[in-house]
Amino acid sequence: MGWWKETIDIVKENDPAARTSLEVVLTYPGVKALAAHRISHFLWKHGFKLLARMNSQFWRFWTQIEIHPGAQIESGVFIDHGSGLVIGETAIVEKGAMLYHGVTLGGTGKDTGKRHPTVRRGALISAHSQVIGPIEIGEKAKVGAGAVVVADVPADVTVVGIPAKIVRVHGQKDEPAIHEEEEKREYYLDKLEQAREASHHSSGL
């Protein structure tokens, strides 16, 4: 009962509309999708990949939430509403993260190996945000609704927009700190693009 209790508790903690544990179990699609994913992920890890995909697709139909069986999702994750949410194969979502409806943790189509985002502890990804590529959303970071994130987001900052830019650091509009963090993000994004281009050229693509 440990996983179920933790999952129900985090829903009741974060959603004032949640009244009872029974209501959470019976009516919250995010809880159903996460429970189903535990089965899919177990099957995937043990080589039953077709069964894993079939189970994930069945629950995609019932919950409108698509989680690839290969994704690594810790206990204590909260999916609110969830309709239209997609989590890719190599995504990692850590304990305490919150994901809202319409969120995509997707790939760029250019990467191999680790292709999808990592969402660290306590991060919040707001509705319809698109988080793309093998990037990292830092601990307690916040991604605003409808943002498109294509570069790492440091811990405890807020990003908004297309492409997502830092607007708060540690909850404050500290302009020098924001400028410094954005310069770091642009530097590492440029380095990543250069590495990708070099990889494509060396492979003859």
pLDDT, tens only, 112-161: 889 999 999 999 999 999 999 999 999 999 999 999 999 999 999 999 99
Q: How much is the pLDDT for 60?
A: 95
Q: How much is the pLDDT for 195?
A: 58
CA–CA–CA angle 132, 12, 29 (5° rounding): 55
Give Cα 27 to chain centroid, integer Å: 22
Residue 102 CB partners (closer than 8 Å, separation 6+): 83, 84, 85, 127, 128, 129
CB 119 within 8 A of CB 139: no
Other CB atoms within a 10 A radius of the CB of residue 166 amount to: 22
Residues of the chain whose pLDDT is less than 70?
1, 174, 177-181, 183-205
Q: How much is the pLDDT for 200?
A: 54
